[in-house]
Copies of this chain bind each other. A is one copy, B any other.
Amino acid sequence: MYIIAVYDMEADRTHLMLSLLRRYLTHVQNSVCEGEVTEAQHAVLTEEIGDVVKPHESVILYQLRDDNWLNREIYGDDPMDDHRFI
């Protein structure tokens, strides 16, 4: 399945969620990661997210069967061109 993950963490805890998500997904913008995962990876990922996230923080996982029907338009600078996002 294809996942887009957006997160809103306490500033000093953002790196925890980012490093977790980067084990499975690609960092595409500040607080946004996406990528293809297996069902098994998804199960582990959601459990790990549940362990990391605290009250007043949130993570939304958008799940699609695949990205065939997903069109992506980028305005402004493509953050993927920025070395921070490699």
From known contacts A6-B32, A75-B49, infer whether A69 and B59 are also in contact, taking CB-CB under 8 Å: no
A78 interface residue (CB < 8 Å to B) = yes
* Chain A contact residue count (CB 8 A cutoff): 35
A65 touches B75 (CB 8 A): no
Interface of A is mostly: strand
A18 interface residue (CB < 8 Å to B) = no
A32 to chain B, nearest CB (A): 5
Indicate with 1 or 0, residue by residue over A69-86, a CB within 8 angstroms of chain B CB atoms: 111111111110000000
Q: Which A residues lie at the B interface, using CB under 8 A?
A: 4, 6, 8, 28-32, 46, 49-50, 53-65, 69-79
